[in-house]
Amino acid sequence: MPDEKPHPRIILHIDMDYFFAQCEEREHPEIKGKPVVICVYSGRGGDSGAVSTSNYEARKLGVKAGIPIYRAKKLAPDAVFLPVNMELYRSISDEIMEILKSYCEKFEQESVDEAFCELTGKVSDFDEARSLAARIKDEIKQKTGLTCSVGVAPNKLVAKVASDFRKPDGLTVVKPEEVLQFLSPLKITDLIGVGKKTGERLNELGVKTIGDISKLSKDDLIKEFGQAKGVWLKQASQGVDDSQVEEREGTDQIGRIITLKENTRELQVILDAVDKLSEDVYRKLEARKLSFKSVSFIAISTDLKTRTKSHTLGAPAKDLDIIRSTARELAQAFLAENPAALRRIGIRVANLKEEKGQKTLGEF
């Protein structure tokens, strides 16, 4: 009888390409093709502050995340410099996550531009997973206009390294039997979780690639880095990772976005959709016993421009009525101010807190 091997897990990791800058390109199509630099101004006036991210044109000129804005201006004097617009990036992130969720068994959002999907059970092998990943990339590109890079592998660790392997617009599939040969030539810093200090120490030991780490004995690694880190390094360098995709969404906000059946600015159609979205968001809040303090209405017009209107409450709330009525008011105000027809709309609640028996707005 043949050995019954356990089925490998199939995990997908997605990371959006030059995310903040790509969102700005979508919002302002006229800047596409130019170097674009997204800045965190320190508030001390002038150009004091650092670069949050940049598009690939700017990266070619040496403008990278973390460098001072004044240096970026020297390196790329003709670039477009824009301040971080987190509201915009969150709304676009909501759109992307919504698409991803529809494809996977389990979904774990890792940051504003990253998520893991469990595909085990959804597809039967890695070839099918590759086709599905290509479809997901296509749908994201078609619906949101943005490119991303995707990795598919038997665990989270390798999937994440794989999504970073070919950027931008990459798709890298690493089958179980390919894990070792995939990892071994990569730089130690490509192994997510190897920080600066560990990286420097490994360098001193003459360790350059992930394959070099895996050649060291577990005991030597433990002697050098301590029990936990030593064991982790040995396993990670061989592509071993048992951590699970944990069903969770961003902890600071819950949102939902839908595509309207037709592009419209008809009030009743939009209010009906708002009611439905409010109920969906409420159900998620209730399941996690969270209260919220702000509500946003997100509108994406037919040219993919994203607008957000938000309202912050005087006290935390947890009631469906408050989400619905606030969202309805925001939607009405939005339509009064903006002439464009809408293609997608969404609702988001933020400033979330766990309910600990405290009074919420609805009970005052």
Q: Which parts of the chain are beta strand (E)? A: 11-16, 36-41, 49-54, 80-83, 106-111, 114-118, 148-153, 171-173, 253-264, 290-301, 306-317, 342-350, 353-354
Using rule CB under 6 A, residue 18 touches ligand DGT: yes
Among 65, 75, 99, 180, the residue binding ligand DGT under the rule CB under 6 A is 65
CB of residue 110 to Ca ion, shortest distance in Å: 8
Residue 25 touches which of ligand DGT, Ca ion, none (Cβ within 5-8 Å per kind): none
CB closest to ligand DGT, residue no: 53
Angle of CA points 185, 52, 140, to nearest 5°: 70
How far out from the chain centre does Cα 31 lie?
Answer: 23
The interface region with ligand DGT, picked from 14-22, 178-186, 190-198, 250-258 by CB under 6 A, is: 14-22
Whether residue 110 lies in the annotated active site: no
Please provide the size of the chain in residues: 364
> Is the separation of the CB atoms in 266 and 308 below 8 Å?
no
Residue 167 interacting entry, from ligand DGT, Ca ion, none, C-beta within 5 to 8 Å by type: ligand DGT
In the range 97-156, which residues lie near Ca ion by CB under 5 A? 113-114
- Tell me the window of 10-18, 68-76, 204-212, 298-306 that interacts with ligand DGT (CB under 6 A): 10-18
How far apart, in Å, are the Cα atoms of 82 and each of 50, 90, 223, 224, 277? Answer: 12, 16, 47, 44, 32
- Per CB under 6 A, 279 contacts ligand DGT: no
Element (H, E) at 142: helix 126-144
**Considering only residues 10, 11, 16, 159, which one is a binding residue for ligand DGT as defined by CB under 6 A?**
16
- Which is closer to ligand DGT, CB of 20 or CB of 182? 20
The whole-angstrom separation of Cα 83 and Cα 65 is 13
Place of tokens 């069903």: 247
Nearest to 303 by CA among 339, 329, 257: 339
Report the residue number, 15 or 94, with the smaller CB distance to ligand DGT: 15
Both tokens of 219, joined, read 């005991």
* Span near Ca ion by CB under 5 A; candidates 10-18, 68-76, 95-103, 351-359: 10-18
Both structure tokens of 37: 């630099």
Residue 15 in the binding site for Ca ion (CB under 5 A): yes
Nearer to ligand DGT by Cβ, of 19 and 126: the residue is 19
**Helices 196-204 and 218-225: crossing angle, nearest 10°?**
120
Contact letters for ligand DGT, residues 94-113 (x by CB under 6 A): -------------------x
Calculate the alpha carbon distances from 188 to 78, 152, 202, 215, 225 in Å. 35, 20, 8, 13, 15
Among 9, 12, 13, 20, binds ligand DGT (CB under 6 A): 20
* 52 touches ligand DGT (CB under 6 A): yes
Instruction: Please select the residue that binds ligand DGT; options are 11, 13, 14, 15, rule is CB under 6 A.
Output: 15
CB of 54 vs ligand DGT, minimal distance in Å: 7
Q: Does 66 bind ligand DGT (CB under 6 A)?
A: yes
Footprint on residues 121-180 left by ligand DGT (CB under 6 A): 167-168
Q: With respect to ligand DGT, which residue has the nearer C-beta, 69 or 104?
A: 69
Identify the active-site residue in 114, 247, 279, 363.
114
Point out which span in 11-19, 185-193, 278-286, 339-347 binds ligand DGT (CB under 6 A).
11-19
The strand pairing partners of 326, in sequence order, are none
The answer to whether the CB of 59 falls within 8 A of the CB of 79 is no
At residue 315, φ and ψ (nearest 5 deg) are -150, 160
Residues 318 and 362: beta-carbon distance below 8 Å = yes
Which amino acids are annotated catalytic? 114
Binding residues for ligand DGT, per CB under 6 A? 15-20, 40, 52-53, 65-66, 113, 167-168
Residues in touch with Ca ion (CB under 5 A): 15-16, 19, 113-114
